[in-house]
Structure 1
Amino acid sequence: MEGGDGIDRIDVVGTDGVSIGAGASIETAVGNVGNDNFDGSDLTTRASFYGRDGDDQLTGGSSADYLYGDGGADTVSGGAGADRIYGGDGADTLSGGDGNDRLYGNDGNDTMDGGAGNDSLYGGAGDDLFIFGAGNGTDTVHGGDGWLDSVRLQGADGGAISASDFGIELASGSIEDQADGYVSLSEDAAGTVTLNDGSELHFDGLERIEW
């Protein structure tokens, strides 16, 4: 399938999943109940992908994309550009990539990684896990309504770090418990985590920081 010039759209009909590969030049794709794979990594114009039901894989390109996982356990990657990524229902995996992105987990126990750039991440309902590492810029995380929302701190390229590689400053709330590898926070905790490379994570609504 080749979209060619112009802004092209495909709407999936039926229950089978559909794959749109990189290079197809489809800017807007709307899934149905199957497990769809919409790959817009070669696009230089905005991708607008809607997974609908099913466990979908959505990949944006170099522009400011709008990607909606909707129902199911979706895997959504923004790529370059200032993307807007929405998980929807289900346990979704959301990755912003480069650019100043906004990630919304919505319902479900989601895993969210803003990537490089100054990102804003919103957990919504569910027990969400946020990934923040060296080189990620300045991110803002709002844990949301989950019982246990956590952030996992990493070094460059996902490497391990130790407690000496970062500092925690609380603006409100308190540390409830701490041990080797984690800190538990009160429900009203808000503050800033600063990594030794200068990357900063501003947060509220998190109950746990781990590394």
Structure 2
Amino acid sequence: MQTGTKISALAHGLLLGWAFLGGAFRSDPLPFAVQDVTVISAEEFDRMSGRSAAPETPEAVAALPEPEPPEPAPEPQAAAQPDSPPARTQPEPAAEPVAEPLPERLPEPLPAPVPPTPEAQPEPVPTPSAPETTALVPAPPQRPAERIAPEPVAPPPPDARPDPVEREQVSPDAEADTAREAQQATAPEEAAEEIVTEAEQTAVLAPTRSPRPAARPDRPAAPARPA
């Protein structure tokens, strides 16, 4: 349970306990002093206090002075006639303004301020570029061939017929008499300069040499601040 719930439950329990058991611990009330009173009228109060109104006599009424008549209001005097209007006076002519004498020599104007000459910026020193290196590309590996020849021969197209190696022995007399038969175009067989092994057939996939990184660009020169 949370702390607030515990405090609330304890406070409610104490309140209910005081409501049920609080009357047993009460003491007897103290006695009050009470005095009996009677309601009377104003006449009875005056009679009891001995005050009574004196009756008025006619002599006292006759002795009262008569009020004086009001004085007549004074008549309003005739309104005084206004005096004759004063004679109009012509306004005096305004005095002509006196021109101030010009100064003999005007002050020379101040020369304009000359802007500061910017300082010459030093020329940036050229960064020597990296020397260009020529990468040597290895020659493509030779394909294995059945025939060995002093000069390598590219493989013929698949539709070409290889040139037969066997030749018939012909006498020299028959060569002059017989006409040459039309020969069908043939392609030489594929040949290589040396025997290619299986170890040499593996292609080199990784580069043999890593290229050199390019040079960093020059930083721009800071602009000159005016003095």
Query: What's the TM-score bracket when you normalise by the shorter of the two chains?
Result: under 0.3
Query: Which protein is richer in helix relative to its size?
Result: 2
Query: Which protein is richer in strand relative to its size?
Result: 1
Output the TM-score relative to the length of structure 2. 0.10
* Structure having greater relative contact order (Cα 8 Å, sep ≥ 6): 2
